[in-house]
A and B are shown apart, each in its own frame.
Chain A
Amino acid sequence: MKFPRSTGLPYLCLLCMMLVAAPTAVLAGEDWKPVDPADLALKEAVVEKDADAEVLTWDVHVNDNDVNDLVFNHYIRIKVFTERGREAHSRIDILYPGKAKVKDIAGRTIKPDGQIVELKKEDIFERTVVKAGGRKVKAKSFAMPGVEPGAIVEYRWREVFSSASADHLRLELQRNIPVRNVTYHIKPYSGPYASAMRAQYFNMTEAPKIVKKDGFYTMTMTNMPAFREEPRMPPEDQVRTWMLLYYTPDNKLAPERYWKEFGKRVHELVKPLMKANDEVKKAAEEAVGDATTPEQKLERIYDFCRTKIKNSSNDAAELTNAEREKLKANKSPSDTLKRGVGDGADIDLLFAAMASAIGLDARVALTAARNKIFFNPNFTDPYFLEPTSIAVRLGDGWRFFNPGYNYLPFGGLRWQEEGTMTLVTDPKEPEFVITPVTPPGRSLEKRTAKLRLDADGTLEGDVRIEYTGQAAVEIREYNDEDSPAQREETLKSRVQARLGGAELSNIRIENVTDSVKPFVYAYHVRVPGYAQRTGKRLFIQPAFFQRGVGQLFPTSTRRNDIYFNYPWSEEDYVEIQLPEGYALDNAEAPSQFGAAELSQYQPKLSVSTDGRILVYHRKFFFGGDKAKGGVATPFPASSYSQLKAYFDELHKQDNHTIAIKQGAAATATTSTAKPSN
């Protein structure tokens, strides 16, 4: 290993992510790189022709071979094409921590006619952006002079971070504008006890070619498109092109061997933390009670840990701040048990200890959260892994539990840890296991509405919505930090956003922090003008819960893959009592359709035998897969048009309208149904 010099690595990584630019090769005082007249004459970007600006050169020297310092030399050259590009790229803020140094800033603007306007020293402002607790963040800021569309701006600076290392340093290869050429020149530490520096590349079709010169390893990427966020895309680290520098021992192990060794080491490390003493054993026996099967026993222990130990990690835990401050760190499951309080990790470890105490095989399991990255074990570094659950062997396989996270029922995991490669630690044979995905039917949004329609089009009645599974976890997280008044306000805003003019009353929100029961919204609603009147008819959308909901994919193009956090299902039951004297007029039911195991849409429309009550029943699920229970992988961008067409059709069918007519004899192709009481 290298000398442990890094004191501010996370900080430095963050800084590197946030910096405006990270360019180049030329040390201050040296001449600027020659400007190609063709670049000056350019009228539109090369990499993406619609771009407002394009980076021509982004060049960074990273020198980690200094005894004390990590030194960056940045150089960036940008061609501006439009007013919007000028607006976005003529002001520069270089942020740095107070202990770092930023120096040798130079910049210039080359106008389209070749005239050069230099950035003057007096136009560079140094500011302490914020200082607190003895720390500072400073900034050097400047505006490039004379920028106009067609101009090229270029600037460079040097950054020195003392007592820092390039170990686990993130280097970006994409920006929010396209990049013609990005080059990193990296000089690793080569002093005593030096480890080998390696680079892990993410989201590249092929690794770049590395050239070594003057002690620097140089890698170049060309024609990098702009990075753009899109709704429902995979996590940014899974989409953006970037690389991670890290040091490892020279004798790098093959992945299988590496993770085996790593899993053993972690197991040795956590083993004492899962130790069950006599009190823990006794508590386990008492919790298990008369349960007979291993699963029943484990469920009793799970319930014990979830309900008898206060979870200090939970936002909604009934702990005052004074109580939280008095909490001592639990050093063992016995401490957690004795004090009756612990954070999520303490509770997981107590659960593991109690499970072990009744003879079950329990281990700490490590996962890379799916909302951050899709883990690939070929990258042999624990950078992304975190202990997230307890694996318990039940029958022939491992099951995963996380009682330290309050909103999960027995056997449930957060969606972020579902469908991921999870390392089960072991003294001999650690192994990767893919965690199961909750099938769509268990993450259900079940909605019921009993409504009355007036002849003027006003719809009024009672609504109840229940959430289970991942849908419940998500909505609990959305609500748990809010006051009851705020929760009601949030609900009102959500309903009114789709049903303009809706009035809500008698709002009840139940089981906000109870992981066993469904999360419930119940309210009375009045929606003036819900149905539209013409001279003879009233038109009504039976899909009350979909009225005013926009399309999922309204835009025609897509750059990134499409990603749904978890599979889900919906079930709606809507009864609408029709106004006196009205009957269906040429009504027909919306069409059902589906995509085999992946998704099905099944709407049903019927009318009571007396013709007075319209009954709409809708079932929908998405993300199902017979083999795996649920789909947790992204859909490629190339499938966007099919996916969009599917959800467009869903939207169309949800917006299906029926007509009712005063004094009409019912004409319809709906079935009859008996309304619920």
Chain B
Amino acid sequence: MFYRLVGFCCLLMALAAPAYAIGDEAPAWLKQAASSPAPSYKRDVPAVVLLKESTATVETDGRMTTVSNYVVRILTREGRGYATSVVNYDVSTDKVREMRAWLVRPDGSVRKYGKDETVDKIAASYDLYNESRQRIISAAEEAEVGSVFGYTTTTEERPTFPQTGWAFQGRVPVLVSRMTLVLPAGWQANAITFNAPRVEPTVNGTSYTWEMRSLAPIEPEEASPSIKTLAPHLAINYGPAAANTTAAATSGLTRTFEKWADVSRWYTELADPQAEPDDAIALKARELTANAKTELEKIQAIGRYVQNIQYVSIQIGIGGYRPHAATEVLAKNYGDCKDKATLMRAMLRAVKLQSYAVLIYSGDRTFVREEWVSPTQFNHCIIAVRISDETQVASVVVHPTLGRLLIFDATDDTTPVGDLPDHEQGSFALVAAGDTGALLRMPVLPPEASRNERQTEISMSPDGSITATLVERRTGQSAASLRSAFKGLSRPQFQQMVERWVNHGASGAKVSKVEPADEHTEGRFRINLEFSADRYAQSLQNRLLVFKPAIVGRSQTMTLSEPTRKHPVVLESEAYMETVRVRLPEGFDVDELPDATKLESAFGTYSATYEIKEGQLVFTRIFTQRAGVFPAEQYSAVRDFYGRIRAAEESPVVLAKK
């Protein structure tokens, strides 16, 4: 349905095609910015932002009015999408007072865009209901190379927290990027700069201005850190000065946060009352754990149940932070991440297990920064269960006061108790435990926790045809990725996926058996295959047989084609091991085997060995990839590492007729 919504929105956005008058005047600030000379960039840089500025004025009651001006020059046809203005707002707290835009064409003619060309749409199409919306003016269809697009917006909002941010740039270069915060008398602001040396503000009374100039483009690269980790940005706190208690009292600002425990206390007060179990919850929890003999089994039983509840997001009020009551979630059998966490907490409580909500950022483990105490850094809610020493799993952190905490994502239905989605591993997350809550680094599971072990048995006939059985056992996140495909695809689609996978290595292979087994609770996924392939080994002059023993490829491979790069390489934990036994055809001997390979590096290890045992060729490959962020200076070594693995896995075996 989601894609239909998006498609429909696109249709209506197209209907907003403008019909404007020629001969409009652009405002002076836009003309001035448009006349700025820009350096020349590489030919694939799509656009350059000539001016990006915002002035946010805060009233004593906390209301904030923001005027933003933005000017961008389109450098390539692909850059036309940058001729777009987007304002996000929340219908319950914000207003978009003004939104106008202009397109200055290369011939100097100007087009003006206003209310009639503005599209207003829901911001989160996937949510069943959400008060966030977007106003958009797009000149992408009309903009051509050399055009300058500019817009101004005025928004009024009542921030939930006295905090704001400023991204100095995105991927494209920026000439001038400026943020001004105008505060009431007696208020003050401080900011943290990320991904760049500290930017000192120019302070004029209670007006603060942060500015950066001449920012280079940030080009996308394979296995690169996210743009949020690369682009300079500010995190800003503001409010009445500590001594000004009267101003603080009248500001209307609901919350200020000095330390992470403050955020913990705030969220605990918001979420804990919702996690009260009633009789229905207690009954369900007892029913689920009736056969559980250990603490871990109880957590697994409840965790599995909650993960299977339908994900439905309904965001109303207080920035979407407050979960629905656990009782309601159980009755409806649906909810979002914080609803699921809340229901799970209530159920655990019913069986006498203590747990806490954990706020985290889903999708980028480097996103949350310890230096900035702010709940706005999070977009996801998971849980921490207080466990005894009896429970031994990998996804555990130790809190100085609360002790051992098992971290679990009740929304990710492919990741069982004891494991953690890889994009959450190593991230900072807030354990909301009242005064004792803290920002903790989430556990990073070792490569062995995400392992793929494969055994392939092959029988080869003299014409090179093979019949094969393959058993693959996966654990951890390696299992989760296959489980995700298994859950997301229908049975015939899954079968076809496997066929494509096998046929990639063995052309024309016939897959006669696909037997998947999801051992979810144990964190394992197993798949048994049987297949055959005519003339898999190539016959040369009816004398030699040549074949690659690595028949079925690994699902993840790194290519790193570019000879150089600018940004670090990000690698995830992964471990892989395969043994292939090939029963050699009658009348053939091994003529040549590839050389064994053994690689050891900071990024991981790899070995490939070949030996002949009792008429069988035994090929073994073992690969371990270490999670880490490796600087660009090490790129050639990383590239060489993967290039050598690729070469080793392509190496053939040669058999000769006796």
Binding site for B on A (CB under 8 A): 14, 18, 20, 50-52, 83-84, 86-87, 90-93, 95, 123, 125, 127-137, 139, 141-143, 145-148, 320-322, 325, 457, 481-486, 489, 492, 496, 500-503, 528-529, 532-537, 539, 550-551, 554-557, 585-588, 645, 648-649, 651-652, 655-659, 667, 669
Contact = CB atoms under 8 A, between A and B. Distances in A.
B225 interface: no
A666 to B, nearest CB: 12
Contacts of A127: 122, 129
Contacts of B563: 503
A145 B333 contact: yes
B192 to A, nearest CB: 36
Given A148-B333, A652-B507, A537 B312 contact: no
Nearest to A120: B332
B628 to A, nearest CB: 22
A304 B629 CA distance: 60
16 contacts: A14-B11, A18-B4, A123-B332, A128-B122, A129-B121, A139-B5, A145-B331, A483-B43, A485-B43, A532-B594, A535-B593, A539-B546, A551-B503, A554-B504, A586-B541, A652-B508
A489 B504 CA distance: 25
**Which of B490, B496, B511, B559 has the largest number of chain A CB atoms within 10 A?**
B490
Given A87-B310, A502-B561, 4 more contacts: A90-B334, A482-B77, A554-B496, A556-B499
Interface in B28-78: 42-44, 76-78
Main secondary structure of the interface of A (DSSP, over half): mixed
B487 interface: yes
B491 interface: yes
Nearest to A587: B540
A283 B77 CA distance: 36
Interface string B616-658: 0000000000000000000000000001001100111110000
A86 B16 CA distance: 37
Contact of A137 (B9, B129, B510, B541): B9
Contacts of B508: 551, 645, 648-649, 651-652
B538 interface: yes
A16 to B, nearest CB: 12
B587 interface: no
A117 to B, nearest CB: 8
A605 B15 CA distance: 58
Nearest to A119: B332
A636 B42 CA distance: 50
B199 interface: no
Given A130-B12, A486-B76, A321 B650 contact: no
Question: Nearest 7 CB-CB pairs, A to B?
Answer: A132-B16, A648-B508, A485-B44, A483-B76, A554-B503, A130-B121, A125-B129
Nearest to B543: A586
Contacts of B17: 133
B211 interface: no
B592 A537 contact: yes
A131 B487 contact: no
B6 to A, nearest CB: 10
A585 B652 CA distance: 15
B5 A321 contact: no
Nearest to A146: B333
A586 B544 contact: yes
Interface in B541-561: 541, 543-544, 546, 557, 559-561
Interface string B568-598: 0000000000000000000000001111000
Contact of A131 (B120, B592, B595, B654): B120
Contacts of B308: 83
A555 B500 contact: yes
A501 B646 contact: yes
Interface stretch (B101-109, B374-382, B426-434): B101-109
B290 interface: no
A45 to B, nearest CB: 11
B129 A132 contact: no
A532 B652 contact: yes
A321 B144 contact: yes
A133 B15 contact: yes
Given A145-B332, A321-B105, A648-B508, A501 B561 contact: yes
Contacts of B143: 321
Interface string B485-509: 0011011100110011001100110
A320 B105 contact: yes
A406 B380 CA distance: 51
A322 B107 contact: yes
Nearest to B146: A320
Contacts of A51: 490
A482 B16 CA distance: 24
Given A145-B333, A482-B78, A18 B8 contact: yes
Contacts of B647: 457, 528-529, 532-533
A527 to B, nearest CB: 10
B1 A20 contact: yes
B646 A86 contact: no
Contacts of A321: 105, 142-144
Contacts of B78: 482-483, 485-486
Nearest to B651: A532
B652 A50 contact: no
B118 interface: yes
B98 interface: no
B650 A529 contact: yes
A205 B118 CA distance: 48
Contacts of B7: 18
Nearest to A528: B643
B120 to A, nearest CB: 5
A586 to B, nearest CB: 4
A145 B128 contact: no
A100 to B, nearest CB: 13
B119 interface: yes
A554 B507 CA distance: 8
A135 B12 contact: yes
Contacts of B107: 320, 322
B135 to A, nearest CB: 10
A503 B142 contact: no
A131 B643 contact: no
A492 B563 CA distance: 13
Contacts of A83: 308, 487
A95 B5 contact: yes
A132 B540 contact: no
Given A143-B332, A648-B508, A537 B654 contact: yes
**Which of B76, B594, B654 has the largest number of chain A CB atoms within 10 A?**
B654
Contacts of A146: 331-333
A534 B334 contact: no
Interface string B121-138: 110010011000000000
B546 to A, nearest CB: 6
B314 interface: yes
Contacts of B559: 496, 500-501
B15 A550 contact: no
Contacts of B76: 483, 485-486
Contact of B540 (A134, A554, A588): A588
B116 A483 contact: no
A95 B42 CA distance: 44
Contact of A551 (B12, B116, B331, B507): B507
A128 B4 CA distance: 15
Nearest to B310: A90
Nearest to A555: B496
A492 B120 CA distance: 38
A132 B592 contact: no
A17 B1 CA distance: 12
Contact of B544 (A20, A50, A90, A659): A659
A50 B491 contact: yes
Given A14-B11, A91-B1, A496-B561, A489 B44 contact: yes
A583 to B, nearest CB: 14
B353 interface: no
B487 A535 contact: no
